[in-house]
Amino acid sequence: GIQVEQSPPDLILQEGANSTLRCNFSDSVNNLQWFHQNPWGQLINLFYIPSGTKQNGRLSATTVATERYSLLYISSSQTTDSGVYFCAGNNAGNMLTFGGGTRLMVKP
Amino acid sequence: DAGVTQSPTHLIKTRGQHVTLRCSPISGHKSVSWYQQVLGQGPQFIFQYYEKEERGRGNFPDRFSARQFPNYSSELNVNALLLGDSALYLCASSPGPSSRGQYFGPGTRLTVT
């Protein structure tokens, strides 16, 4: 199976700051997703992005499949953005392999 | 439309006991996958079921088993519980076996004492 690595593991931001989270994967993927896990454990879908760029409000994501990485951009961060961000991918079936996550804390 | 639902939300069991966790997928979704998330780590794949058949299995012991019912809901069973089985168990649904994106339920938090 594929290996997924995320960086940085921890990130502290002041409210209003921008940030970039990175996800590297070891092999080609045909399903790359970004999730936000809230403090109650709910995994919330942010993006399905096996390639290209997508934007949703203050969040955007870019996947460069040929170079095996994906980036999640958070602009004008808010305290409600705090939590853990996971990327996950697979190359067959629905077996997602998750990275270790980036733990984000946004301070007011 | 209702999202993925899981029950119970929390559970406390003793070592050696058995547990059954339940999941109902999003309406119209036929594939259910189970993941285990230990504190501080990303979720790990346990099983995938599609049309009541097992389509994938992660690296978990035979104490873990699952099944899917005709209405596409699913149960995860764990026998002979160990302390290390304490985790958040997440269920995800998708329309088919290799779908564009999976959608997760709120999870069941299992504590084994």
A49 vs B contacts (CB less than 8 Å): none
The mean pLDDT value for A77-104 works out to 91
The mean pLDDT value for B28-44 works out to 95
> Residue B1 pLDDT > 70, yes or no?
no
> Residue A91 pLDDT > 90, yes or no?
no
One DSSP character per residue, B23-85 reads EEPPTT--EEEEEEE-TTS--EEEEEEETTEEEEE-S--TTEEEEE-TTS-EEEEE-S--GGG
Contact A104, A13 (CB under 8 A): yes
Supply the CATH classification number for the domain A4-107.
2.60.40.10
Which of A29, A43, A45, A56 to probe the B interface (max B CBs under 10 A)? A43
B45 touches chain A (CB under 8 A): yes
CA distance B32 to chain A (A): 9
First CA to last CA distance, chain B? 37
d(CA A78, CA A13): 9
Query: How many residue pairs from chains A and B have C-beta atoms closer than 8 A?
Result: 69
Q: What are the extents of the domains in chain B? A: 5-112
Q: What are the extents of the domains in chain A? A: 4-107
Which residue, chain included where needed, has tokens 């961060």?
Answer: A77
Residue A2 pLDDT level (bands cut at 50, 70, 90)? confident
Class of the B5-112 domain?
A: mainly beta
> Cα-flanking dihedrals φ and ψ of residue A79, to 5°?
-60, -30
